[in-house]
Amino acid sequence: MKNILLTVEYDGTLFSGWQRQPQRRTVQGELEKILSLVCRCPIQINGTSRTDAGVHALGQRASFKGDFGIPTDRLLIAANNLLAGGLNTSGRVGDLRILNAEEMSADFHARFDAKGKKYIYQILNEPELQIFSRNQYYQVQKNLDTDAMRAAAAHIVGTHDFKCFQAAGGEEKKTTVRTIYALNIVEKKTLEGKRIVALEIKGDGFLYNMVRIITGTLVEVGLGKKKPESVADIIDGKERQQAGHTAPPQGLYLAKVYYDLEELVEF
**What φ, ψ does residue 120 adopt, rounded to 5°?**
-120, 130
* DSSP string covering 192-232: T--EEEEEEEEES---TTHHHHHHHHHHHHHTTSS-TTHHH
* 259 in a known ligand binding site: no
The identity of residue 73, as a single letter, is D
Whether residue 231 contacts residue 222, with contact meaning beta carbons closer than 8 Å, is answered with: no
Identify whether 52 is a catalytic site residue.
yes
Whether residue 210 contacts residue 165, with contact meaning beta carbons closer than 8 Å, is answered with: yes
* Distance between CA atoms of residues 50 and 39, nearest Å: 24
151's enclosing H/E stretch is helix 146-153
Which SS3 state, helix, strand or coil, does residue 185 take?
Answer: strand
Under DSSP, the state recorded for 158 is: E
**What φ, ψ does residue 231 adopt, rounded to 5°?**
-65, -35
Residues 6 or more apart whose Cβ sits within 8 Å of residue 53: 12, 15, 16, 17, 249
Considering 52, 73, 147, 161, which one is annotated as catalytic?
Answer: 52
Residues contributing to the annotated binding site: 119
Residues contributing to the annotated binding site for substrate: 119
* Residues catalogued as catalytic: 52
